[in-house]
Amino acid sequence: MKWFRAAGRGGMRRAALLAAAFMALTCTAAQAELALAGRVVARTTDTVNAPFGGLVDEVAVRAGDAVAVGDFVAALETTKVYAPADGVVGGVFAEPGDDTEGIVERYGAVAYIEPTNRFTVSASTEKAYNSSETKYVHIGERVYLSCTKDGTHTGTAVVTSVGGSASGGDGGSSDGGDSSGSAGITSYTLEVTGGEFYMGETVGIFRSRDFDSSSRIGRGTVAQNAAIPVKGSGSVLKMHVSPGDPVERGELRFETVAGALDGLYAVDNRIVSNVAGVVASVDAAPGSSVDKGAKLITVYPAGSFQIEVHVSELDLSAIHAGDRVAIEFDWDADGAHRVEGVVASVSRVNVGSGEEGAKVEGDAEYSAYIDFEADSTVRLGLSAMVYLVESAEPAGAPEAPAS
């Protein structure tokens, strides 16, 4: 049998082990000419990128973790928009992927809510009872309404806004009747919280539930309560309502994200891997801000594993692209996990070369890369021995080493 040369980092102990291993091989002498020490590396990397911009809320993987296609790897924060009042969704003008600013410019809002309280009252203190207490109206106070025609329509309301003062008309009455005059008139707005009224109906407004005239703080006209616009900023990621849906104040209506989605949107803010392999690095941390397309993680794809070996310049003529090899891993002491591979390439630049290509002292070494089928036991960085079992080059036609 022809003796082989053990290249690389094995030393005398590894050479002895290799010699013993070779004696056990069934290959012919011509097939077992070279044994090389190497390690598992990745030929390429791939990335999982942010589909939209925002703050990183969560990262679910670490460097070295195995990931499959569809595995959850990270989540980005969204801006959540809530219902400002109870009511029914009267209109939704946006879909996932839409730019909210454009929708608001065209329709006035992303969605509208028809409030549960359908009526408002535009009122003033012009017809208030002539007393100092009835001249002051307070935001948030509860009041009672009665139609001025016949008192058959009654209800409740709350003061939602108080306006300025206006000069009065024909003066006040000393008998406790209606007043305007020099004290001025205050305008205010009510939201009807109970009762049924007609549009345009005139109602008296009282502080007392028995409609005592001394508690009258004014008079007003019933109008329809305007639909409440719900706006937002950024691009719509997900809608949580449809027209006709009942809503309560504080319920989530839709979510937006920073930047444009170009009409292509994610199901939600959870980002899944589009590649199977091993996480090489985590490129974004929770709390960090990322732009659309930014790297979240880098992955070594499962199909990109190779074994890198160093070949002495004295052995270059014995190894070529296309050669068949046998691979044993150092952790597999009995050789039960031996796999086959093929030499993918042999570098034409020596490992010890600097930027200018200057050779280091001693024999130059070159990298060769071995393709093989990696299973679940193979991990990046594993040590392995590679044995040449069949050369793709005819005998007597060695490859000239690179200078």
The total number of structural domains that make up the chain: 3
Mean pLDDT (whole number) for 151-168: 81
The whole-number pLDDT of residue 262 equals: 65
* CATH number assigned to the domain comprising residue 170: 2.40.30.10
Write b or e for each residue in 257-289: b if 16 or more Cβ atoms lie within 10 A of its Cβ, otherwise e.
Answer: bbbebeeebbeebebbbebbbbbbebbbeeeee
Q: What is the CATH number of the domain that holds 101?
A: 2.40.50.100
The answer on 195 and 182 residing in a single domain is: yes
Helix ranges (DSSP H) in 108-179? none
Verify that 308 and 386 share a domain, yes or no: yes
Measuring CA to CA, how many Å separate 337 from each of 36, 93, 383? 17, 61, 13
- Give yes or no for residue 338 having a pLDDT over 70: yes
> Do 192 and 239 have their domain in common?
no
| Same domain, residue pair 128 and 146 | yes
Q: How far apart are CA 141 and CA 160, in angstroms?
A: 8
Residues 128 and 188 in one domain: yes
CB 101, CB 233: distance < 8 Å: yes
Is pLDDT of 8 > 70? no
The answer to whether residue 247 sits within a structural domain is yes
User: Cβ(155)–Cβ(206) under 8 Å?
Assistant: no
Q: 14-70, pLDDT tens digit by residue?
A: 444 444 444 444 444 444 468 999 999 999 999 999 988 889 999 999 999 999 999
SS3 category, 309:
strand
Q: Give the CA diameter of the chain.
A: 131
Q: How far is CA 217 from the centre of its chain?
A: 54
Q: Report yes or no on whether pTM surpasses 0.85.
A: no
Separation of alpha carbons 161 and 158, rounded Å = 9
Cβ contact 57:286 at 8 Å: yes
How far apart CA 276 and CA 272 sit, in angstroms, is: 11
Is the domain of 102 the same as that of 237? Answer: yes
Is 89 within a domain? yes
Q: What is the pLDDT of residues 90-122, one digit of tens each?
A: 889 999 889 999 999 999 999 999 999 889 999
pLDDT score at 269: 86
Which amino acid is it at 73?
A: V
Instruction: Report the C-alpha gap between 260 and 182 in whole angstroms.
Output: 58
Q: Identify whether residues 209 and 355 lie together within a single domain.
A: no
The residue from 174, 200, 224 where one domain ends is 224
Phi first, then psi, for residue 362 (nearest 5°) are: 90, -175
Judged by DSSP in three states, 126 sits in coil
Whether residue 123 is found in the same domain as residue 217: yes
Whether 195 is covered by a domain: the verdict is yes
Pair 135, 218: CB distance under 8 Å = no
- On whether both 160 and 107 belong to a single domain, the answer is no
106 lies in the same domain as 247 = yes
- Answer whether residue 214 is part of any domain: yes
Residues 6 or more apart in contact with residue 300 via CB below 8 angstroms: 42, 44, 45, 46, 277, 278, 279, 280, 380
- Does 403 fall in a domain? no
Same domain, 244 and 108: yes
Please give the residue range of the domain that contains residue 214.
119-224
94 and 241 belong to one structural domain: yes
Q: Is residue 266 part of a domain?
A: no
CATH number where 24 lies: 2.40.30.170
DSSP 2: P
**CB hemisphere CA count around 357 (13 angstroms):** 4
Domain boundary among 224, 243, 277: 224
